[in-house]
Each structure stands twice: as C-alpha cells, then as structure tokens.
Amino acid sequence: MARKRTISPATFRRGINLWPPFLFAGIRVLSVGEGYRSARVRLRLRRTNRNWVGTHFGGSLFAMTDPFWMLLVMQNLGPDYLVWDSAGEIDFVSPGRGDVFADFRLTDDRLEEIRELTAEGKKALVWFHTEVLAADGTLVARVRKQIYVRQKRREAEPAAV
C-alpha cells in the first residue's frame, strides 16, 4: 500500500533546505522528483565547509548524501514498512574544489526487489550507491548507504465477543 503523502516533494525540498545541517554546510536540495523517486543535491564549496587543504570537508560530502535513500524508500514503500539507515561508507576519489552534485534515482525494479526481500516479515539490508561528481563530471567520491527494511508487524486482532 502506498503511503498517502501529506507533504509534496516541492514543499519537502523547501523545508529540508532550511534544515540547519544542510543550510550551514552549503548543501542544497535542487529537486525532489514526483512520487519521491529521485533527488538532486548540490554542495557548494565555501569558507565554512573547506578542509585544511582548501577542498570539500569529507563530512559535508557524506552529509549531502546521507538521508536520501532512506527517505525515498520510506516514501515509496509506505507506512506498512520500517525503513532505517543502517550503515554508510565513503571513498574519496579526487579533491572537490568547486560545486559538487549527487543524484538519486529509485527504480520500480529496486522497489520490487525490496518488497520480495521483505516478504513474510523478513528484514532486508539493502545497499545503494551514489557518486558525488564535480560540475565537469569528475568523480569526487563514491558513497554506499545500507538501508534496513522490513514490514511492520501486525498487532493481533481482538477476539470476537
């Protein structure tokens, strides 16, 4: 059953852009796709998020990718599922010296895979991959996020009187 969205993707985007960890790190959500199937995020290099050698601080690179797989999966599976971040990894490939971008796309096939893995109340630990790219397409970092998913347990129905 799909979750009834009480907030539009556009309203969500505006709100998350005011969230202090994103606002003060220079992270901006540029778009959230219809049906919460995609997102595009930008991190600008600023004085407040540079590391000692003048490139993007690694924590900001990871933060720009942190919540999106969980949020996209949660919005698409709906209220009958528990969805949590479980683990994360980042590999720094090249220095980020300007704006960097991350794109997230949740496909029907991936959602079906998760539904199959969690059938009959089983838990699933699902990995998602994201590349952080410079404006010219240079790979800056590879991020892996593991999401925990399972169907919520149903409470026992009251006995008939």
Q: Does residue 16 belong to any structural domain of this protein?
A: yes
Q: If pLDDT is split at 50, 70 and 90, which confidence band does 69 have?
A: very high
pLDDT tens column, 109-151: 999 999 999 998 899 999 999 999 999 999 999 999 999 999 9
pLDDT at 98: 94
Q: Does residue 3 belong to any structural domain of this protein?
A: no
Q: Does residue 122 belong to any structural domain of this protein?
A: yes
The token duo for 32 is 């959230």
pLDDT at 42: 97
Q: Does residue 157 belong to any structural domain of this protein?
A: no
Q: Does residue 1 belong to any structural domain of this protein?
A: no
pTM greater than 0.85 (yes/no): yes
Indicate whether 1 pLDDT > 50.
no
DSSP string across 38-67: EEEEEE---GGGB-TTSSB-HHHHHHTTTT
Q: If pLDDT is split at 50, 70 and 90, which confidence band does 158 have?
A: low
Nearest to 73 by CA among 120, 115, 30: 115
Q: Does residue 110 belong to any structural domain of this protein?
A: yes
Q: Does residue 76 belong to any structural domain of this protein?
A: yes
Q: Which domain holds residue 117?
A: 9-151
Number of domains in the chain: 1
Look at the alpha carbons of 58, 64, 70, 73 in this order and tell me if their dihedral is positive or negative: negative
For the domain that residue 134 is a member of, what is the CATH number? 3.10.129.10
Q: Does residue 35 belong to any structural domain of this protein?
A: yes
pLDDT tens column, 20-60: 989 888 999 999 999 999 999 999 998 888 888 988 989 99
Indicate whether 152 pLDDT > 80.
yes
